[in-house]
Amino acid sequence: MSEPKTSDGPVVDIARLNAWPGLADVPGDGPVASLEPLKGGAQNLLFVMRRADGTELVLRRPGRHAGEEAAKPFARESRVLTALAGTPVPHPRLHASTLDAGVIGAPFSVLEKIEGFMPRGDLPGGYGTDPQWRRKLAFELVGGAAALAAVDPDAIGLGDLSRTDGWLDKQVSRYRKMLHGYRETAGYTDRESPLVDVVADWLDGNRPKAWHRGIVHGDLQFANVMFRHDAPELAAIVDWEMAAVGDPLLDLAWILTAWREEGDPPGSDPQLRPWDGMPGRAELVDHWASLTGRDVSDFRWFQVLACFRLAALLERSFVLALDGRMNRAMGEGLHAYAGWLWTKAEQEIARG
């Protein structure tokens, strides 16, 4: 029986997992025979969970240093995945979840194992050799965002997923407060993010007059999607713990913070290799608009907002690294990327 461990001991106790009554509700027969680590996000741990009959699933739990607050995002993701069942939005099926940390030492969920890959770094197969596959990948990703934008949150029971009163007004103040708060951490100063107030003031001064209510994934990027190996098709959008009710145009802007094209600030390479063949941001915005029927005249504001919000979240990881609660090298890498996002936001602001 294979049990994943760190220097602090096992991260999942398989004996306790096999004693969990909820195991009866997931596919497969027999006890869990092994858990093999999967590469995933910085905040959570993922494992291929193989049962005695060979059935493979995915077990997801918070990272080793997560506190009691980790239960809330797991509850949110479980609710969202349950509600999305039957919609056109590609997502992994949720088989079971529990917030009871007494089972394996942390909340966890058991998900469908998606056959595919996360597009990061050197692209495999046809994605790496055919520019048309890469072009299709881009449109598929934006198409996934458009499919989610078309879902009425009230129709699937997610209308109260998050508070939306004053949604536009609260976007900037919340993250500005967060960013200023980081400066209370030893080793972090106002020099770490000098453009916070410049960007925040522009967002406040150029706020759209209205917004469109829908479901927002909240972290739609290459690291949170999976593509099929045998065809340039989106297999699933994953990691739904930041989902909320808001304006879906933010998801499109979030995707395009990871885009690179001529004229962008230097200092940040594309996350995928090779990059040639990718459509530009404007073409993808037009594609999303054609699929959703939405007016995208306020997109630039959402692009700056996405840079602002993503930089705030990346800086939080840097603060955790400074505090010894995250790998220092990873935290510094995310901090450097946040610096590029501030520069990109400043460039968008200067476009007039």
Domain identity same for 208 and 84: no
Domain identity same for 85 and 130: no
What's the mean pLDDT when you consider all of the chain?
A: 93
Domain identity same for 19 and 105: yes
pLDDT value of position 6: 44
197 has a pLDDT exceeding 90: yes
Whether 149 contacts 302, CB under 8 Å: no
- The pLDDT tens digits of the residues spanning 133-144 come to 999 999 999 999
User: Where is average pLDDT lowest: 129-133, 187-191, 251-255, 293-297?
Assistant: 187-191
Q: How far apart, in whole angstroms, are the C-alpha atoms of residue 136 and residue 155?
A: 30
Any idea how long the chain is? Answer: 352
Domain identity same for 146 and 105: no
Domain identity same for 237 and 92: no
Q: How far apart, in whole angstroms, are the C-alpha atoms of residue 56 and residue 288?
A: 35
Which two three-digit tokens encode residue 321? Answer: 């690294």
Percent of the chain beyond pLDDT 70?
Answer: 95
pLDDT value of position 7: 39
Domain identity same for 254 and 203: yes
- The pLDDT tens digits of the residues spanning 177-186 come to 999 999 999 8
Taking every pair of Cα atoms in the chain, the longest distance, rounded to a whole number of angstroms, is 63
Q: How many domains does the chain divide into?
A: 2
169 has a pLDDT exceeding 50: yes
pLDDT value of position 9: 44
345 has a pLDDT exceeding 60: yes
Q: How far apart, in whole angstroms, are the C-alpha atoms of residue 153 and residue 7?
A: 43
pLDDT value of position 2: 52
Which ranges of 265-327 would DSSP assign to H, the alpha helix? 281-292, 299-322
Residue where one domain finishes, among candidates 112, 134, 158: 112
Closest C-alpha among 141, 128, 127, 147 to residue 87: 147
Domain identity same for 89 and 147: no
Residue where one domain finishes, among candidates 48, 82, 112: 112
- The pLDDT tens digits of the residues spanning 40-79 come to 655 789 999 999 999 999 999 987 665 677 789 999 999 9
Domain CATH code at residue 234: 3.90.1200.10
Range of the domain at 237: 121-350
Confidence band for 195, pLDDT divided at 50, 70 and 90: very high
DSSP notation for 190-255: GGGSTTHHHHHHHHHHT--S----EEE-S--SGGGEEE-SSSS-EEEE---TT-EEE-THHHHHHH
- The pLDDT tens digits of the residues spanning 87-120 come to 999 999 999 999 999 999 899 999 999 999 999 9
Q: Is the peptide bond before 270 cis (omega within 30 degrees of 0)?
A: no
In this prediction, residues 273-281 reach a mean pLDDT of: 97
Domain identity same for 169 and 257: yes
Which residues, at least 6 apart from 69, have a Cβ–Cβ distance to it below 8 Å?
none
Global pTM reads 0.93
Domain identity same for 81 and 125: no
pLDDT value of position 11: 74
Domain identity same for 294 and 169: yes
Domain CATH code at residue 15: 3.30.200.20
User: Where is average pLDDT lowest: 12-16, 210-214, 255-259?
Assistant: 12-16
Confidence band for 190, pLDDT divided at 50, 70 and 90: confident
207 has a pLDDT exceeding 50: yes
Residue where one domain finishes, among candidates 93, 112, 131: 112
In this prediction, residues 225-239 reach a mean pLDDT of: 98
Domain identity same for 192 and 274: yes
Domain identity same for 193 and 339: yes
In this prediction, residues 2-7 reach a mean pLDDT of: 50
